[in-house]
Amino acid sequence: MKKSALLFLYVFIGIVCLNAQDAKVKYLLSAEQFSDKLKENPQATLLDVRTPDEFAKSHLKDAINIDWRSKGFLNDASALPKDRQVYIYCLSGGRSHSAADKLRTQGYTVYEMEGGILQWQKAGLPEVKGDGKKGKDGMSLNEFDKMVSSHPYVLIDFSAPWCGPCKKMKPYIDAIEKEMNGALKVVVINTDENMTLVKKMKIYSIPYLQLYRDGKLKWENMGFTDEKYLREVVNDFK
């Protein structure tokens, strides 16, 4: 009897987990699916949860900007009509996922764009170009090329203040640079402040690391890089 009850419990938990996973997949859309859904639902709310500076440079047509990291996010978002679906995005998907989870607890039906506006741009979908007055153009590609050639050994760290994996990697990236005693130069590039460069280099996700030896790219990795592997890579090319 006990075995049957346990078996039933395990099956029930499995079904619940599968249903939860299916629900997550249902509300996570590719850039193309996100675009199609917006066309099907012209009355939906399109929400950009990036910073005002990011929004000023480029955004999706008809998008509303409410900064996820602002203290008044929930208060501002509470003005959104709950009888309309919300389509939400950020730069690469991290902030919009957190914001979507929060909005769902408030009774909203929320669809997320996987990979954020970077994937939207990669797909060649249209966006509204702002005047950029709220932000800076950032580094040009020519300036970037000069920078990676200014030192024999350069590690480029494309990151952003809101990026969790970037924050986790920073302590050991700093430690590696210090240990190499000037033999390695680490340059941190804030993607929020250098969107022109990010687009030209086709960087669609962060963290993103590049390693240059004498101005030539030797290694790159998009996504989280653990300390052991990064140390091995740096030692291989030094």
pLDDT for the residue 22: 45
- Give dist(CA 173, CA 176) in Å, integer: 5
Mean per-residue pLDDT, 172-195: 93
Structural domain contains residue 100: yes
Angle between helices 164-179 and 227-237 (to 10 degrees): 40
Is the pTM here over 0.75, yes or no? no
pLDDT higher than 80, residue 7? no
Do residues 139 and 131 touch, judged by C-beta distance below 8 A? Answer: no
Mean per-residue pLDDT, 216-228: 94
Active-site residue list: 163, 166
Query: Is residue 117 domain-shared with residue 207, that is, in the same domain?
Result: no
What is the number of structural domains in the chain? 2
Please identify which residue in the block is written with the tokens 């939906």.
44
Confidence of residue 133 (pLDDT cuts 50, 70, 90): very low
Between strands 153-159 and 208-213, the pairing is antiparallel
pLDDT higher than 70, residue 101? yes
Mean per-residue pLDDT, 94-100: 95
CATH (domain of 120): 3.40.250.10
Domain range enclosing 155:
141-237
Spatial neighbors of 48 by CB under 8 A, at least 6 apart, are 55, 59, 60, 63, 64, 65, 66, 88, 89, 90, 117
Q: For the chain, how many residues are written?
A: 238
Query: Is residue 122 domain-shared with residue 21, that is, in the same domain?
Result: yes
Looking at the chain, the whole-number percentage of residues with pLDDT higher than 70 is: 86
pLDDT higher than 80, residue 147? yes
Q: Which of 23-32, 106-115, 160-169, 181-190 has the lowest mean pLDDT?
A: 23-32
Confidence of residue 211 (pLDDT cuts 50, 70, 90): very high
Do residues 111 and 87 touch, judged by C-beta distance below 8 A? Answer: yes
Query: Is residue 118 domain-shared with residue 185, that is, in the same domain?
Result: no
pLDDT for the residue 177: 95
User: 41 vs 34, 36, 121, CA distance in Å?
Assistant: 11, 9, 21
